[in-house]
Structure 1
Amino acid sequence: MNGETGRGVAADSTERLQPNRRSLPIQRPLTAQRNNAARHSRPRLTPGVVLRRRLIDLVDAGARRPVTLLCAGPGWGKTITVASWVTTATDRVAWLTLHPDDNDRTMFWTHVVGALRGAGAFEPGHPLADLEPAAGVTDAVVDQILDGLDALPVRVVLVLDDFHDLEAEAVLHDLDDLLRYPPDRLRLILVTRTEPSLRLHLLRASGEIAEIRGPDLAFRPDEAALLFANRNVRVSDDDVARLIEETQGWAAGLQLAVASLAQGRRIDDLAGDHGVADYLTREVLARLPPDVRTFLTRTSVLDEVCADLATALTGERYSQRILESLERANAFVQGLGSFPRWFRYHPLLRDVLRNELTAQSPELLPELHRIAARWYAEQGAVIDALRHAAAGRDWEFLARQAVDWVPLMLSADRAGLVAVLRQIPGGELPTTPELQVCDALLLFHAGDYANVPARLAAARDLRAERTGPCDLPLEVALLTIEAAVVNRVRGDMPGLVTATTAVLGRLSSLRFGELPALLQYRAIALNNKGVGLLWTGQLDRADRYLWAGVTAARAAGLVLVEINAVGHLALLAVLRGALREAYEHATLACDLAERRGVRMSLQAVAGQLALALVELEHNNVAEAERELRRAVEAHRADPEAAQVLVSSLTRARLHVVTGDLEAARAELRRARRDADPMMVAPALDRWHRLTQSEVDLASGHAEAVVARYGRHTDSLLPGETVCLARAELALGGLDLAEALAARARATSPGNLNAVWAWTVTALVADAQGHGNRSVDALSSAVRIAQREGIRRPFLSIGDRRLATLLERQRWLVRDNAAFVADLLAETTPTRPGAAPAPETDLSDRELEVLRYLPTVLTAAEIADELRVSVNTVKAHLRSIYRKLDVTRRREAVVRAREQNLI
């Protein structure tokens, strides 16, 4: 049929019928007379079939367009879906199940016309009502048929089932002509296993085609449960979910599972079921050329396959073409992505192929895994390389890869690495230094740190037996594990600095080709050195190394190392008194751990402890308790000496804040008693003594603090200097207290230590009668505290004059009035056991005047507000002072708040 025959949309279809077409000779081929009834009838719905409403609705919506395409592999339920829709259809439906014989042009059009006639599509007198195509259909006859379809009196849906059997170019060309200008009252539903060789892209561009494919046809859990229920097969929801995952919702697979369960069999491995294997072998594999089937069998050792990897396993040059053709043929091969480089086989097909490979070529299986292991290793896909090496029992290759990628123990791939290492037979572990490293990693994962050094020593002994140059990757791995277990876990911080310095030195002489995990090793070493420097008290150097560790870990994808480094930056900021910075770092570390699902890991503990310490200084006791509890839970099963001690110090400080000083002392004694004997951490020792000094000050033993620090004032840190200043203030050494506070302010401006120092200065100035200086000093303390969210110094300094100074501050310095009011609310709570004032029977007018006292209004201004004379207000004030037993206005305010009068 040529394009000039004309099926233009402007012409009336009846006018385009040629009179001589109806006079063509009528001759029904003998083959067309056989089995027409069966081929023109929709399949019967068997009892127990699941009528899936969502699919029926999809077909029904598609039937409103010229073409609906159902394209999926065998057994996905394409035909039964359309047959289910037919039971609800309101249009006339003509059904034709195609056969390879229909590649004959005459046979095809004979069956199409017959199916339409059987559906009542032609009324008497219609051009096609009596037409019987002659043998050897010509273009003219096809023109007559197509024009007749344009003149259908009613809307008819023609279902062409098994459309994949239609391959003849002549027939497909005829259908392309039909779809170029689709008849108004004809709808086509094409049911096929493979992508039709039709110009459907034009229909897609115009939105005139609906497509239903495998993912749409896949059974959902509720539909699968109904399928089992309809067959009276009882299964649990977990079993349904497992079968859905194993079959990917494949209808035939679920039907076969139903049949097996109905016969009382248990299906632990559905792919091993004879029915599944037989179905896939006959319906999928048997239809493929032998070389393609061999290709599938060899590549079935993979979970996902790409062309390069397939070529390595099979030697096939055109692997990409084969994979793409298998996907187009819906041969249970799925491309991953819009323009796929990677493909995945259906799990059941993959398992059937693997069983076939194991049965037919067992000697080939380990070799294929070893080839895959080396290919993945070259691509940097370490876990996949290790898995295939284990499957191929290539233990030496696996161990060398593990040594190169020890940093994976601190990555999201830790579980995958450990799972592979556990597959190494116990008898293999002592044979090479690399396998000894694998054993050490397993002990490290289990928290059995005590036995790790022995494995490292054995690895070094085995290495010494080898000849040749030093194996730097192996040496780096040994040093890294040693630094983590022998030094960091047990708290030997000088040793940790030394070991990590050695690791960084080795790494500087290596290239990526020699050690693929060079960046990861470097990130771990930088972070560990930063931690060692932190707890040896070298804060500035620790800051630089920890920041370098954060950057390197982020670049290398080691999220656990990044979390740990940021958490230790938060602890460093706490030691410096920079609470806002500490809070930012701590929340970042905790949020990152939460997002990555590692909140309960050892590496998240530092951030949680820092956050608890910050919340204590904010006087948020409940939040501090929560973060401390999380930290303790996280490192309970995997303790690290330094973090255990920080936990104890945090708990002791929490007891100080809540007033349980005896519990604080007990916690400090326990921390010292239970510390690892190998722990050397000068900064933590000083922090322990500082916390002990906090307990001494809170319990009124300032002399103990002076005895502890008084002889070494030149070498004190800012926090220690402030603590000694508070002790001197409590003991009356005002000049020395002020001098120490001034030194702390100079060395630690704008942070927690400065708040303490300015507060001490304010109290000293007040005690010396320097009111203005006291106001200015307290103003500086409040300004810093408000910016940093600091509250604890004002609540725990233990000087009763501070509440009076804060009250004065509230009215004299308006910028911080709201913050000071909050502090006053916490520093002067109502005390149920406080002795009542001698007389508190204030009159209504006196209570009214009392409410104005916390303001800065003068007596004259209060009188104006109350519309009374100033003498009346003064008289009320004298009465108020007498009844509250005070002599000054600010004392009256404090006493009134104590009695809950204002």
Structure 2
Amino acid sequence: MQQHRLCLVHAPAGSGKTTLLAQWHAALDAAGVNTVWYSSSETDRDPLGFADGLLQAVAASARRSGASIAPQEQTDTLTRLVTLMARCAALSPLALFVDDYHLAEAGDGGETIHSILAARIPQLTIILASRNRPSIPIGRLRVSGEILEVPVDDLFFDEVETQAFFEASSGLSLTAEQSRQMHSYTEGWPAGVRLASLVLGRLPGAFSVTPPTGSHRAFAEYFLEEVILGLPERVYRFLTRTSILDALNASLCDAVTGDTDGTEILSFLEEAQLFVVALPGSQRWHKYHHLFQEFLQARLYAESGNDLAELHSRAARWFIDNGSPMDAVRHAFLARRPDWAAEMIESYCLFDYLSHGRFEVFSRWMQQLPRDAQEERPLLLFLQVWRSINMRRFLQAEQTLRTITALASDRDSGISVIARETGLDIEGRLHLMRALIGAYGGDLAAGLDHIAALEGRTLDRLAFGQVDLDSIHSYLALQTGSLELAEKLTFRAKGIYDETAVHWGGLHSRSIAAMCYIARGLMRDADIIATDALQIARSHFGEHSYMVALPSVLLGLVAFDRGDFDKAEELWLRAMPAEANTDVSGLCERMLVATVGLARVYDATGRCDEATNLLVRASRRAYETEDFRLEFQLAIERADRCFRLGNPAEGLREWERLSLHLPEAQRRFPPSIWQVWEAYQVLKLRVLMERGQQEVALKSLVDVVERALREGRLLSAVQVHRLLATVSDVDLSVPAMQPHPELGRLTDIYLDITRIVDAPSTANRCRSISPDASGWGLTSREEEVLELMRWGLSNKEIGVRLAINLNTVKSHTRSLFHKLGVKSRTQAVLLAIEN
């Protein structure tokens, strides 16, 4: 087996996977191979839990073998796991057995196995048993002959093997027809064949009428008469009561049964081979054969006097006491105590959720909780708001906030009572969540208003309390150019997040700090802290998650500044969501920086058609998802790019379209939002220069430089200063700028494309493919109508905006539909975006 890096055994339940792995494990262990056994469970449905479990199993194996393992400095679980496995395998061949791997892969645990395989550790073999074919990439392993696959057909019996098994196990000689029928009944399923042979050995002809399924009466009779009868009453009670457990150990069994003989009975069951399997490892966990467990559960449910709710409650209490709150919540639900489940989620699982991003688990829990149980737990409601905001479902978030407001208005409601008992500031949190809606939803004016309402107010230290206020406030302070305040708040939040191991908060704070450093022109500091954030994200979140994307886009800026376009492109492509993904979570920077950055890389490397297509697709996504900030800033970039590429006519057309949305932008973005309005002022200068009216715009850009220097935003000051130096030959009293060795290619982003690319021919190719949207023959008024359609205005609202009557709007609409060859507003808008 050691010549293979990976062995796969994939087959349905009851196919003998665990038995086969146990036999391999015993054989390798006897041969002196260092073996590690890990049985996956429901708690491994996220990458972190799976990696943690593997790390503990490998460490325990290393200690048992007496290996001297040096302390590891890595903080992230996956890196520590890979390093420890490499050290163990360097001492002697290492075989890692993972049973029930499908449970781990269901939660994206495949990334953990993929990372271990990618490390190419010598003398390591991974053996996986799964009910499904694993989705990890194995093509290269197949080509190199480094994988051994045991498919389901190799585990199931054929007709000849079925006949031979019956004869060997029970002395029954089946005819060819009987063998065919039995194979058809059991489909070659080893567990079914084994039980069928046992039943037929005792009751010949038992399956002559109906086939042997898992619920067949003959199986129940076999278990009852051949297994249960004759057992001591206390053993039978133990079996039925512990059948509610997916895995068993003595302490857990004692907690569920209320007795103290768990160790003794488990040993007895193992020695008697009564359909209980001891799982390899030092923790002495067992599990029942699933058919036997189903039989025991049926007996438990049928017999009177069994309080199932109490049994599950005992299991839940044991899991809470032993640090497994996820299992505890599951048993609380099975105990039909949703109020208790809600209490445990709020008390034990919130920080775990926040730290590791177990979003899908939380969603399943919320679906199981009745409405009254949810509405008594204020933190659960605020968590739902946070999740809705993060998924850009702002109306849903606002609806939940209104529910909280209504419930809190009643001083005797459950939510009000709990808030008083815990010191939870509901009013402050309502402002906090609405500030977050403003930050994520692009209504920065509203976000700043709610932050102002919290001025001088200290929120509580519970989840979504003061630390999140500092985090959100720091982001909005960055948007307004208050870098010192943003840095102070984000580093204070970072300290609390790190102390409480809330990883998403810690990396978010690091990302905001990196944004501040980039604005200041401190690229080396930005590189260090964004790299730290990316390492945290990869250790605790999926590779394609927003948590990985955010630091990636910032590191892309650092790479672009250094002129490493390949690295920047790699990072930005990794951060871009899949085209089919409409739920793009997180801050606007995730999409904005990656999209604009990629377009500039494509332009700088002569792939201007790719840049054009990218900006069109991103603008379409922004329109479809109603992301006004992203769409407005992309519209500025598209127009500015036209001028940089030497296509002023199209730039002016883009400017006219953009101007239609200026009132909404002015409502959402106060003048202090420098990232929006500085780019807008640059574009305005280009437009006025094209019209011969640049004096006022030049003065406004001098003001931009002066303000940026006052606020410590060196990068903006240098970018605009360099632009002014290229477009004006008069003395504008621009502040003197000293060379800044940390700044590189980012200072060129406002310059003509010929100043960025290496070869003039590249710029000429870019100019030759610049888009021209006038090919449809639309009049200027029809273009205005179409643009207002893009922004969702009704015919009546379009008439008010353009000062024309409703019938005129309809006439223009019919005309442009005819010219575009479409039949609806949606078709017209999407066609306009694409072209």
TM-score bracket relative to the smaller structure: 0.5 to 0.7
- Equivalent position amino acid for 1:371 in 2: R
**Superposed displacement of residue 653, structure 1:** 4.8
Which of 401, 416, 422 is equivalent to 1:453?
401
Which of 502, 506, 509 is equivalent to 1:565?
509
Distance change (3 Å), C-alpha of 1:680 and 1:731:
closer
* Distance in 1 of aligned mates of 2:210 and 2:681: 74
Q: Deviations over 1:311-351 (max 9, x none)?
A: 33222123334334434544444455633154433333333
Computed over aligned residues only, the root mean square deviation of the Cα atoms, in angstroms, reads 5.5
> Which residue is 1:722 aligned to?
718
Structure 1 segment 291-302 matched on structure 2, within 5 A: 291-302=234-245
> Which residue is 1:576 aligned to?
520
Given that 2:685 and 2:698 are in contact with CA atoms closer than 8 Å, whether structure 1 keeps it comes out as no
Q: Are positions 1:364 and 2:307 aligned together?
A: yes
Which of 419, 429, 440 is equivalent to 1:489?
440
* Distance in 1 of aligned mates of 2:325 and 2:666: 38
Q: Are positions 1:475 and 2:424 aligned together?
A: yes
SS at the partner of 1:353?
helix
* Distance in 2 of aligned mates of 1:704 and 1:233: 92
Q: Are positions 1:710 and 2:702 aligned together?
A: yes
- Equivalent position amino acid for 2:292 in 1: L
Given that 1:522 and 1:552 are in contact with CA atoms closer than 8 Å, whether structure 2 keeps it comes out as no
Distance change (3 Å), C-alpha of 1:545 and 1:276:
farther
**Superposed displacement of residue 367, structure 1:** 1.9
Q: Are positions 1:669 and 2:658 aligned together?
A: yes
Structure 1 segment 305-320 matched on structure 2, within 5 A: 305-320=248-263
> Which residue is 2:791 aligned to?
none
Q: Are positions 1:252 and 2:194 aligned together?
A: yes
SS at the partner of 1:739?
coil
Q: Are positions 1:413 and 2:358 aligned together?
A: yes
Given that 2:300 and 2:306 are in contact with CA atoms closer than 8 Å, whether structure 1 keeps it comes out as no
Structure 1 segment 483-522 matched on structure 2, within 5 A: 483-484=432-433, 487=436, 488-490=439-441, 491=444, 492-494=446-448, 505-507=459-461
**Superposed displacement of residue 690, structure 1:** 2.2
SS at the partner of 2:424?
helix
Q: Are positions 1:223 and 2:154 aligned together?
A: yes
Which of 347, 360, 369 is equivalent to 1:424?
369
Given that 1:493 and 1:535 are in contact with CA atoms closer than 8 Å, whether structure 2 keeps it comes out as no
Given that 2:241 and 2:300 are in contact with CA atoms closer than 8 Å, whether structure 1 keeps it comes out as yes
Given that 1:568 and 1:606 are in contact with CA atoms closer than 8 Å, whether structure 2 keeps it comes out as no
Distance change (3 Å), C-alpha of 1:624 and 1:496:
farther
Q: Deviations over 1:464-518 (max 9, x none)?
A: 44697853547268866863465343455436756898996411xxxxxxxxxx5
> Which residue is 2:600 aligned to?
none
- Equivalent position amino acid for 1:252 in 2: R
Which of 657, 670, 676 is equivalent to 1:688?
676
**Superposed displacement of residue 291, structure 1:** 0.7
Distance change (3 Å), C-alpha of 1:257 and 1:674:
farther
> Which residue is 1:791 aligned to?
745
Q: Deviations over 1:707-752 (max 9, x none)?
A: 323346643342443344335423545765673324xx5xxx4432
By relative contact order (CA 8 Å, sep 6+), the higher-ranking structure is: 2
Which of 637, 643, 651 is equivalent to 2:583?
637
Which of 729, 737, 740 is equivalent to 1:741?
737
- Equivalent position amino acid for 1:721 in 2: A
**Superposed displacement of residue 374, structure 1:** 3.2
**Superposed displacement of residue 397, structure 1:** 1.6
Which of 735, 742, 746 is equivalent to 1:751?
742
* Distance in 1 of aligned mates of 2:577 and 2:290: 39
Given that 2:196 and 2:212 are in contact with CA atoms closer than 8 Å, whether structure 1 keeps it comes out as no
SS at the partner of 2:736?
helix
* Distance in 2 of aligned mates of 1:652 and 1:234: 72
SS at the partner of 1:560?
helix
Q: Are positions 1:539 and 2:483 aligned together?
A: yes
Structure 1 segment 806-821 matched on structure 2, within 5 A: none
* Distance in 2 of aligned mates of 1:598 and 1:418: 17
Q: Deviations over 1:102-149 (max 9, x none)?
A: xxxxxxxxxxxxxxxxxxxxxxxxxxxxxxxxxxxxxxxxxxxxxxxx
> Which residue is 1:598 aligned to?
542
Question: Gaps spanning 5+ residues in structure 2: where?
Answer: 1-14, 32-128, 130-149, 163-179, 596-629, 768-835
Given that 2:510 and 2:533 are in contact with CA atoms closer than 8 Å, whether structure 1 keeps it comes out as yes
More deviation in 497-506 or 700-709? Answer: 497-506
Distance change (3 Å), C-alpha of 1:830 and 1:712:
closer
**Superposed displacement of residue 364, structure 1:** 0.6
* Distance in 2 of aligned mates of 1:833 and 1:799: 9
> Which residue is 2:108 aligned to?
none
% identical aligned pairs: 19
- Equivalent position amino acid for 1:312 in 2: A
Q: Deviations over 1:65-119 (max 9, x none)?
A: 9xxxxxxxxxxxxxxxxxxxxxxxxxxxxxxxxxxxxxxxxxxxxxxxxxxxxxx
Question: Gaps spanning 5+ residues in structure 1: where?
Answer: 1-48, 66-214, 508-517, 753-789, 803-822, 835-902
* Distance in 2 of aligned mates of 1:506 and 1:284: 58
* Distance in 2 of aligned mates of 1:310 and 1:628: 51
Distance change (3 Å), C-alpha of 1:522 and 1:282:
farther
- Equivalent position amino acid for 1:690 in 2: E
SS at the partner of 2:460?
helix
Q: Deviations over 1:377-421 (max 9, x none)?
A: 344432222212211121222222233344454334322222122
* Distance in 2 of aligned mates of 1:261 and 1:224: 23
* Distance in 1 of aligned mates of 2:333 and 2:666: 40
Structure 1 segment 317-466 matched on structure 2, within 5 A: 317-335=260-278, 338-340=281-283, 342-361=285-304, 364-404=307-347, 405-410=349-354, 411-426=356-371, 429=374, 447=393, 448-465=396-413
Structure 1 segment 785-864 matched on structure 2, within 5 A: 790-791=744-745, 793=747, 797-798=751-752, 825-826=758-759
Distance change (3 Å), C-alpha of 1:550 and 1:417:
same
- Equivalent position amino acid for 1:686 in 2: W
Given that 1:613 and 1:650 are in contact with CA atoms closer than 8 Å, whether structure 2 keeps it comes out as no
Structure 1 segment 133-282 matched on structure 2, within 5 A: 221-227=152-158, 252=194, 270=214, 272-282=215-225
* Distance in 2 of aligned mates of 1:833 and 1:358: 73
**Superposed displacement of residue 687, structure 1:** 0.8
* Distance in 1 of aligned mates of 2:246 and 2:480: 49
**Superposed displacement of residue 370, structure 1:** 2.3
Name which one, 1 or 2, has greater alpha-carbon Rg.
1
- Equivalent position amino acid for 2:554 in 1: A
Given that 1:436 and 1:458 are in contact with CA atoms closer than 8 Å, whether structure 2 keeps it comes out as no
SS at the partner of 1:316?
coil
SS at the partner of 1:710?
helix
Distance change (3 Å), C-alpha of 1:468 and 1:416:
closer
Q: TM-score, normalised by structure 1?
A: 0.49
Distance change (3 Å), C-alpha of 1:578 and 1:343:
farther
* Distance in 2 of aligned mates of 1:562 and 1:233: 62
* Distance in 1 of aligned mates of 2:435 and 2:212: 50
Distance change (3 Å), C-alpha of 1:531 and 1:711:
closer
SS at the partner of 1:422?
helix
**Superposed displacement of residue 365, structure 1:** 0.7
